[in-house]
Amino acid sequence: MADAALFEFLHTEMVAELWAQDPDPGPGVSAGPRGEGGRAAGQKMSLSVLEGMGFRVGQALGERLPRETLAFREELDVLKFLCKDVWAAVFQKQMDSLRTNHQGTYVLQDHSFPLLIRMASGLQYLEEVPKFLAFTCGLLRGTLSTLGIKSLVTASVAALPACKFQVVIQRS
């Protein structure tokens, strides 16, 4: 039971730590535009750092979780595995809905995302939300990449705590 709380606190601290560096880019970085431009670049970098961390964790998860399950037959199986097993392992619940247009785009919807549920219920804090979703986007992308699927994952929130993750498969 306590495992879920541990991850939530770790995640909150990660976001707080990586975000706090943003207003003060440091001596090496501030050669570029200051003020608004510098701050926006710092924010983007924090987001990609968070996403990168999620990616590495996702790669390890993609190796560890499907261990006893049999080989996946097709893409939809992999997505279903993501929604059921990966989500249950990380957030102790399953994804609420999975939709696809069968052209390589999948929308995963979670009506009460555990990392957002402690924040608010409604429209409050909507601008602050992207940084709390970056890690999870990376996690999805990492797991997909270990299972052989190159993808682009973005998240969007209409009203807390429901959020949507959009997975676009990149076919080369």
Partner 1 sequence: MAVCVAVIAKENYPLYIRSVPTENELKFHYMVHTSLDVVDEKISAMGKALVDQRELYLGLLYPTEDYKVYGYVTNSKVKFVMVVDASNTALRDNEIRSMFRKLHNSYTDVMCNPFYDPGDRIQSSRAFDGMVTSMMIQVC
Q: Which residues bind partner 1 (CB under 8 A)?
A: 56, 59-60, 62-64, 66-67, 69-73, 146-148
- Closest CB 160 distance from partner 1, rounded Å: 31
Judged by CB, which is closer to partner 1: 133, or 144? 144
- Closest CB 150 distance from partner 1, rounded Å: 12
Sheet containing strand 105-110, strands side by side? 97-100, 105-110, 162-169, 151-159
Judged by CB, which is closer to partner 1: 61, or 116? 61
Judged by CB, which is closer to partner 1: 64, or 118? 64
- Closest CB 77 distance from partner 1, rounded Å: 10
- Closest CB 116 distance from partner 1, rounded Å: 26
Please say whether the beta carbons of 49 and 130 come within 8 A. no
Tell me the C-alpha distance between 56 and 39, whole Å: 26
- Closest CB 64 distance from partner 1, rounded Å: 5
Judged by CB, which is closer to partner 1: 6, or 31? 6
Judged by CB, which is closer to partner 1: 60, or 76? 60
SS3 134: helix
Tell me the C-alpha distance between 61 and 83, whole Å: 13
Tell me the C-alpha distance between 137 and 143, whole Å: 10
